[in-house]
Amino acid sequence: MTSDEPPRPIVSIVIPAHNEAENLPILLRELCATITPLARLQIVCVDDGSTDGTFAVLLDAAKQDHRIKYIRLSRNFGHQAALRAGLFYSTGDCVVSMDADLQHPVRLVPDMIKKWQEGYEVVLTKRKQSDDLPIFKRFTSDLFYLVINGLSDVYIDPGSADFRLLDRKVVDVVKSLSETDFFLRGIIPWVGFKSCNIEYMPDRRRFGDTKYSLRKMISFAISGVVSNSIRPLRIATLLSAMISGLAALYMLYAVHIYFVYGQVVPGWASVVVVVCFIGGLQLLVMGVVGEYIGRILRESRKRPGFVVSATNMNAQAGE
Taking a C-beta distance cutoff of 8 angstroms, is the pair 21, 54 a contact? yes
Q: Are residues 97 and 170 in the same domain?
A: yes
Q: Are residues 160 and 49 in the same domain?
A: yes
The whole-angstrom separation of Cα 266 and Cα 263 is 9
Q: Are residues 207 and 236 in the same domain?
A: no
How would residue 168 be classed by pLDDT, with cut points 50, 70 and 90?
very high
- The residues pairing with 70 across neighbouring beta strands, listed in sequence order, are 45
Task: Identify the three-state secondary structure at position 167.
Answer: strand
Domain total of the chain: 2
Q: Are residues 207 and 122 in the same domain?
A: yes
Q: What is the CATH number of the domain that holds 108?
A: 3.90.550.10
Task: Identify the three-state secondary structure at position 118.
Answer: coil
Q: Which pLDDT does position 115 carry in this prediction?
A: 92
Residue 319 pLDDT > 50, yes or no? no
How would residue 95 be classed by pLDDT, with cut points 50, 70 and 90?
very high
Residue 1 pLDDT > 70, yes or no? no
Q: Please report whether residue 288 resides in a domain.
A: yes
The whole-angstrom separation of Cα 256 and Cα 250 is 10
Q: Please report whether residue 21 resides in a domain.
A: yes
- Residue 24 CB partners (closer than 8 Å, separation 6+): 15, 17, 45, 54, 57, 58, 61, 100
The whole-angstrom separation of Cα 202 and Cα 122 is 20
Q: Are residues 60 and 162 in the same domain?
A: yes
What is the arithmetic mean of pLDDT over 50-55?
Answer: 87
Q: Which domain holds residue 98?
A: 10-140+155-211+304-311
23: phi then psi, degrees, rounded to nearest 5: -85, -30
Q: Are residues 206 and 256 in the same domain?
A: no
- Pick the most confident of 23-27, 35-39, 153-157: 23-27
40: phi then psi, degrees, rounded to nearest 5: -75, 140
Q: Which pLDDT does position 73 carry in this prediction?
A: 92
Q: Please report whether residue 274 resides in a domain.
A: yes
**Could you give the angle at which helices 184-191 and 168-176 cross, rounded to 10 degrees?**
110
Taking a C-beta distance cutoff of 8 angstroms, is the pair 163, 97 a contact? yes
pLDDT tens digits for range 268-299: 556 666 776 777 777 777 777 777 777 777 76
Q: Please report whether residue 225 resides in a domain.
A: no
Determine the distance from the C-alpha atom of residue 142 to the mean position of all C-alpha atoms in its chain, rounded to a whole number.
16
Residue 318 pLDDT > 60, yes or no? no
The whole-angstrom separation of Cα 15 and Cα 216 is 20
Q: Are residues 165 and 273 in the same domain?
A: no
100: phi then psi, degrees, rounded to nearest 5: -95, 0
Q: Which pLDDT does position 206 carry in this prediction?
A: 67
Q: Are residues 132 and 259 in the same domain?
A: no
102: left (phi over 0), alpha (psi -120 to 50) or beta: left
Residue 315 pLDDT > 60, yes or no? no
Q: Please report whether residue 218 resides in a domain.
A: no
pLDDT tens digits for range 170-218: 999 988 887 777 778 778 888 888 888 888 887 776 665 665 566 666 7
pLDDT tens digits for range 236-269: 777 777 777 777 777 777 777 767 766 665 665 5
Mean pLDDT rounded to a whole number for the chain: 79
CA-closest candidate to residue 312, choices 100, 119, 44, 118: 44
How would residue 165 be classed by pLDDT, with cut points 50, 70 and 90?
very high
Q: Are residues 207 and 254 in the same domain?
A: no
Q: Please report whether residue 221 resides in a domain.
A: no
- The DSSP code sequence of 52-81 is SSHHHHHHHHHHH-TTEEEEEESS---HHH
How would residue 317 be classed by pLDDT, with cut points 50, 70 and 90?
very low
Taking a C-beta distance cutoff of 8 angstroms, is the pair 6, 39 a contact? no
Task: Identify the three-state secondary structure at position 169.
Answer: helix
Q: Are residues 247 and 135 in the same domain?
A: no
Q: Are residues 203 and 251 in the same domain?
A: no
SS3 content of the chain, % helix, strand, coil (to 5): 50, 15, 35
Residue 14 pLDDT > 80, yes or no? yes
Q: Are residues 237 and 165 in the same domain?
A: no
Percentage of the chain exceeding pLDDT 90: 17
Taking a C-beta distance cutoff of 8 angstroms, is the pair 95, 166 a contact? yes
